[in-house]
Each structure stands twice: as structure tokens, then as C-alpha cells.
Amino acid sequence: MTIMTASFANPKNDAASIERRVQALLAEMTLAEKIGQMNQVNASDEDMPHHLREAIEAGRVGSVLNQVDVDTVNELQRIAVQESRLGIPLLVGRDVIHGFKTVMPIPLGQAATWNPDIVREGARVAAREAATAGINWTFAPMIDISRDPRWGRIAESLGEDPYLASQLAVAMVEGFQGDDLTDAGTIAATAKHFAGYGASESGRDYATVNIPENELRNVHLPPFKAAVDTGVVSLMAAFSDLDGVPATGNEFLLRDVLRDEWDFTGFVVSDWDSVRQLAIHGLTEDDRESVYQAVTAGVDMEMAGQSYVQHLESLIDEGRIDVATIDAMVANILRAKFRLGLFEKPYTDPRALPPIANEHALDTARQAALQSAVLLKNDHGVLPLSANKLKSVAVIGPLADAPYEQLGTWIFDGDRELSITPMHAIHSLVGHEVDVRYLRAMDNSRSRASEAFDEAEEIARDSDVVLLFLGEESILSGEAHSRADINLPGDQAELVRRVKAAGKPVIAIIQAGRPLTLTNIIDDVDAILFAWHPGTMGGPAIAELLFGVESPSGKLPVTFPRMVGQIPIYYSQKNTGKPPSPETVVLIDDIDAHAPQLSTGMTAYHLDAGFTPLFPFGYGLSYTEFDYQDIRTSAEEVGLGDTLTVSAELTNVGDFDAEEVVQLYVRDLVANVTRPVKELKGFRRLRLESGQTVTVNFELHTSDLAFFGRDMKLINEPGKFHAWIGGSSETQLRTEFRIIDGD
């Protein structure tokens, strides 16, 4: 019999009425029912516990994950709502990371669009499609700052920069959650993995993380703060051992920062089984102590483990955990369920939502793929190709026609049947006037078998131009898929050399889940289009870019190293006391045989790599040229608390109408703690016709320049600043201003 939550249904959904309903429901709950809300169960078809229905009916389950059959979800919801004593609906979770059936570019690729609007729309499309399966909660966005391309999960991140990641994190949360979470087609979002997971030692997944608090606060926490401030429903604790205290048991993170400093009112979910892993870390001696640590730290819900259900009641009976603590944690979960309107509308009618893979969904995926691709090299303007000037095109490589691989990592529900591959898209676009010859040449990106390379060279020789589709399959990035060597896998470099030997223009289109060290092929190709894993509509997007329907406009959200040994390498580095410069660097091949010890510049660089990346953060070429002039500020000085405008003139001086991502960087020259040599503080994607000039203005409030000082407090200091505007982090167009004390 259900004490139906009729008294909790149908009221306004404002915070005050939600709070009243939360407290009223809490007062009705037994301790066992409260603990049940803290329990998330894996309900995938393969692993659904056969007692799941009874457990839901007994009120021992608050959430399920990985069940995507809408009829099954509705049945589980019906049991929860109509057969359990209090009728509390279930949260139904799924990793909807970059699309559900219609797949967007991987998040790192979406970050390369530098376009919050397309990122938001991609999340909105994903939410609507996921909602048709009964999903009401996604474990996304993943907003770990990632500066190590060896780490497989960089694919899932929004890149290396706190400002860019913050802006795009907000866009994703807004896309998933909409304006009102009670609206059909909106789902709760999760900011993950809190926090610092992207700094895993050596890029090995799940490895130890050590981040000084100042760095944690200035670099890794800002995207999470932005997500919390925009109303994200939940956060997920990271697997990582952070400075000796794994995030899942880290009270500093989950209570001091998240609750006391940020006033977060949502709920925290563990990562998969990460509560039990506290004993494996060596933080606790057994499951029971792990539960004590996780609850004390503030993990409201345990994902896919049964430790809470097994040990919480006895810890409370012993008085080691207060019921008041449990009440507050359960309130966090109930609050989310009320915000979602689950008490009013627990069931899903797919017919009430737009059809899967509708025209808007596919066009959003195509637009995102178009804007995410980054043109890294384009010698002699070999791109764009003109179909009317070509008789034949060779399409060669293991990733030209790989409908699943182009979807990238973290797509449990992506439909490969929807994928349009580059090979098919090129045929559709130009096949009626150009002879398109296709050869896979390698079974997969890791192949060491080169028997097809003779044929590849021959086809190249017989064609006007070669489109070489290279990279990594989906499986080579993502969770637990880190690489120590980030060259193109297998014998791809040899394939490049063989195709180059044919003497025709070679254009490399690279699909991968991470930056790759391209140093060993860059001189053998005339152009490089880096497409990440571009998703369902990657093919049409790549074809349209290659044949000039649109100009590439993506910009790197992460630095591309020359060599893996340079990692970590990122633009917003500190100056150090001995910064390198072209004048001070003596590279290994230039060192005299008997060079004395002090003859190589004595600054911060590698003898065999120098100090610059292969391609810097914010970099990306276009089919046109953008010229930046006349940077200036609205004043030479700005008082603390005021706003300054930084402007420049931007002209499209080329022949192609195209989009440019204009970037604003700032440097705080002298501060309480050393500050980076450049920090992104603004960006805007603009479309300019050939010959068009626009004035770009960035409003900079002095609070935008606040940082955490030695005492870990957010501070704003007077002093001198440099500001740059340009099309990459290497822009030299600079001005300066001073912040003065207001009084």
C-alpha cells in the first residue's frame, strides 16, 4: 500500500515549496527507506539484480542506472511509485556524454568549436533523445581540466583551460537541464569528476593525483564552481587519490569547498564502486569503514555498490553516524527528484518527445562537427579542393569508412547505422563529377601489416590528390585507455611515407580522441585536418570542409606537444625564473661536440624538443586570413570593482567568408602568487565576409582577474596587466592596463 505522495505532488516547483515537500516526506521515512534513497543499482539488462523489483518495492533503491528500455524503466518506476510504501520515484541515470542515439563530436571536439551555443544545443538534443528511454539523469558534463594527452579521458573533457571549460560546462548543463527540469526532454546533469582527476600521474587512468591547493583552486575547481553556480543537480566524486585522500572520502572537497564555500544544494554521487575502493586505496581497512568515510565526507549516493545498504544502518545504530547527517543527505537526493518533477510525472511517454535522430538532431551534429575540426596545416593552399578541377581523388586509410569509430568513446547508445562516413559523404558530394577511389589499406589503426601499401601508392600515383584518413579507433581513448606513446598507432606513418612517394598532394584527415604527436608525419603531408572523433555526421562535415562548402574554424582546446616527453605542456604556464626564448635555446643537434657545461642557454627547455608545442592552445587555420590590428583599452587604469573594455580591429583579408574565434588573453605581471604568462579571459566566434572589418570589444571586470592567493582566499590586486587579442594563444598583439586601488 502506498502512502501516495499526492500531498507532495502538483504544487509550484519553487525552492521554498520543494523544501517543504522534502522535509514533509523525510518526516515520513523510516531509516531503511532513507538509506534506500542513497542506493543506486545497476539495472542494465545484463546485470539487473533479480531481486531488484522487490528491493524497489521495499523502498531500498533510490536510483537505477544503465537501463534504457523505456518499458522496463516505466515498470521500475511503477513499482517505486505505486507499490512502495511512500511512492518515491527513481532517478534513472545513464552516461549521455556527447549524444544518445545521434552522436555529437566527443567533448574535446566540441570544445574545439569554442561555441557555447552549439555545445548547449548538442546537450539539449542528447537530453531529449535520452528522455525517450526514460532516462532523467546523465553523468555529464565531464569537466576535469586535462593537460595530459596520454590520459584516455582527455577525449571526454573540455580541454586544458579553466575559462574555456567553465564556459562550455555551463552551456552543457544548460543544454541538459533546460530552463525548468520539470519540462519533458530535460534531464539532470552531473559535473564530474570532482576533483582533479585530469592530473592523474603520467596520464595513467585512476592514478595518483597530487595538486597543491593553490593550483587546485586556480585551475581545477573553477569549472565545477561554474557548474554549481548554474544549478547543476549533482556532482560525481572522482576515483582519484587526491593529495593522499581519495575524492570519495575527501571532506575538504565535498564539505568544506562544495557545501560550506559554494552552498551547493544538489547531491553527490560516488563513481562506480568508488566507496568500496577506499579500502583498496588504503584509506580504510574495510567496506564498513569506507562507508563511514564516504558518508562523513559527503557522498550522498553510492553508485553500483551495496556498501551503504549493508553497513549504514549499523553505523547509525552504533552512533558513529547521526541520523541528522543521513537526513541532510537524503534531502539532497529528494530535492533533486522534486526539481525534476518526478512526483508529478514519473513515467515516460516517448511519443511526447521529438523522434530520435530527427532533422534538427542530425543538423546539430553536423554543425558541431563542422565547427570542431581544426585545420592544422595547409601548405600552398592545397585546401579547399575544387571538384571541378579534379578528375580523381584517392580516399585511403583505416578511418575513411568506419561508422562506429567516428562516434568516439563513451557512446553506449550511439547508433552506428546513423553514421555517415567521410568516404560516403565524399562520394555524395563530388562523386558525380570526380572519380573517387577508395582503399582501406590497413585493417585498423594499429595494424603492422603493410601488404596493401603498394596498392595505396599506386592509387595515389594515379589520382590527382590523396585524402588520407588516419588516427585512432574509438577504443584507444576514453576510460582506462591511456597511451604512453601518442604517435599515430601502427604503421600509419609508413603508409603516409608510401603515399607521399607517389608525388601527389596528400591531405591527412585525422580522427582521434586526444592530441597526437604528429612530428613524424607533418613534413610528409601538405595539409592536416584534425577532426577528433566527429560523431554521427562527421562524414558530411569533413567532406564539406575539404571541398570548401565551409571553411574550417575550430581552434585547439588543448596543446599539441612535439614529443610525449614534453608533457605536461600547456599555454598558461608560469614564467619560471629562467624562461626560455629562441635566443637562449640551443637544440641538441646544434650543440658542439665538446660544448662546455654552461653553453646551452641555461633556461627551461628540452635539448631535444625546445620549449614550444607543435601546435598551441587556441590555434586553428582558416581558408581565409584574419588580420588583427589596433588593440586598445578603454582606459589606461581601472579601479578595483570596475570594468575595462579591451578592443581590436579584425579584418577578413582573404577571399573566403569564414568564422574566426577571437580570443582575449591577460597576464597579471606581479601577484601574491606567480600567475600564468597568459590566461584566456574571453572569446567570441564571429563570421566575417571577405574584406569585412569589425571592432571586437571584450568587457573585462576586475573580478575576472581575481585568483586564489597564498592564503587560499580569492583576491583581486592592483597592479600592471598585459592583454592580448588574437586568433590563438600565440598572439603578439598586446596592450596593457593597470588596476588601481578603488579608494
Task: Quote the least distance from Cβ 139 to ligand GLC, whole Å.
Answer: 3
DSSP string, 301-360: BEES--HHHHHHHHHHHTTSS-HHHHHHHHHHHHHHHHHTTTTT--S--GGGSPPTT-HH
Alpha carbons 577 and 575: distance in angstroms, whole number: 7
Asked whether 62 and 91 are in contact (CB, 8 A), the reply is yes
Is position 271 an interface residue for ligand GLC (rule: CB under 6 A)? yes
* Residue 234 phi, psi dihedral angles, 5° rounding: -140, 165
**Cβ closest to ligand GLC, residue 239 vs residue 530:** 239
Q: Residue 139 to residues 233, 316, 350, 440: CA-CA distances in angstroms?
A: 10, 29, 21, 36
Is position 205 an interface residue for ligand GLC (rule: CB under 6 A)? no
Could you tell me which residues come within 8 angstroms of residue 237 by beta carbon, excluding any fewer than 6 positions away?
A: 193, 194, 247, 248, 250, 253, 254, 268, 269, 270, 271, 274, 299
**Cβ closest to ligand GLC, residue 236 vs residue 646:** 236
**Cβ closest to ligand GLC, residue 192 vs residue 504:** 192
Catalytic residue selected from 95, 144, 243, 271: 271
Task: Quote the least distance from Cβ 490 to ligand GLC, whole Å.
Answer: 28
**Cβ closest to ligand GLC, residue 142 vs residue 369:** 142
Cell of 55: 528491493
- Tallying the residues shown for the chain, one arrives at 743
From 620, 617, 645, select the one nearest 631 (Cα to Cα): 645
Asked whether 673 and 214 are in contact (CB, 8 A), the reply is yes
Asked whether 231 and 339 are in contact (CB, 8 A), the reply is no
In degrees to the nearest 10, what's the CA dihedral of 501, 446, 98, 262?
-110
Q: What is the DSSP letter of 676?
A: -
* Residue 511 phi, psi dihedral angles, 5° rounding: -110, 125
Task: Quote the least distance from Cβ 236 to ligand GLC, whole Å.
Answer: 6
- Contact with ligand GLC (CB under 6 A): which of 114, 137, 139, 626? 139
Task: Quote the least distance from Cβ 220 to ligand GLC, whole Å.
Answer: 16
Task: Quote the least distance from Cβ 284 to ligand GLC, whole Å.
Answer: 20
**Cβ closest to ligand GLC, residue 139 vs residue 605:** 139
Is position 483 an interface residue for ligand GLC (rule: CB under 6 A)? no
Asked whether 723 and 666 are in contact (CB, 8 A), the reply is yes
Per residue, the 3-state secondary structure of 701-725, as one string, reads EHHHHCEECCCCCEECCCEEEEEEE
**Cβ closest to ligand GLC, residue 237 vs residue 375:** 237
Alpha carbons 704 and 682: distance in angstroms, whole number: 10
Task: Quote the least distance from Cβ 197 to ligand GLC, whole Å.
Answer: 8
Count of residues in contact with ligand GLC, rule CB under 6 A: 6
Task: Quote the least distance from Cβ 188 to ligand GLC, whole Å.
Answer: 13
The amino acid at residue 733 is L
Q: Residue 52 to residues 46, 47, 57, 61, 104: CA-CA distances in angstroms?
A: 13, 10, 9, 8, 33
What radius of gyration, in Å, describes the C-alpha atoms of the chain? 27
Is position 272 an interface residue for ligand GLC (rule: CB under 6 A)? yes
Is position 144 an interface residue for ligand GLC (rule: CB under 6 A)? no
- Contact with ligand GLC (CB under 6 A): which of 39, 73, 95, 696? 95
**Cβ closest to ligand GLC, residue 139 vs residue 453:** 139
- Can 263 be counted among the known catalytic residues? no
**Cβ closest to ligand GLC, residue 156 vs residue 415:** 156
Residue nearest to ligand GLC (CB): 139
Task: Quote the least distance from Cβ 246 to ligand GLC, whole Å.
Answer: 13
Binding mask 452-481 for ligand GLC (x = CB under 6 A): ---------------------------x--
H or E stretch covering 626:
strand 626-633
**Cβ closest to ligand GLC, residue 110 vs residue 572:** 110
Cell of 379: 601548405
Is position 276 an interface residue for ligand GLC (rule: CB under 6 A)? no
Task: Quote the least distance from Cβ 342 to ligand GLC, whole Å.
Answer: 20
Alpha carbons 144 and 156: distance in angstroms, whole number: 9
Asked whether 62 and 77 are in contact (CB, 8 A), the reply is no
Which stretches of the chain bind ligand GLC, using CB under 6 A?
95, 139, 192, 271-272, 479
- Which residues are annotated as catalytic? 271
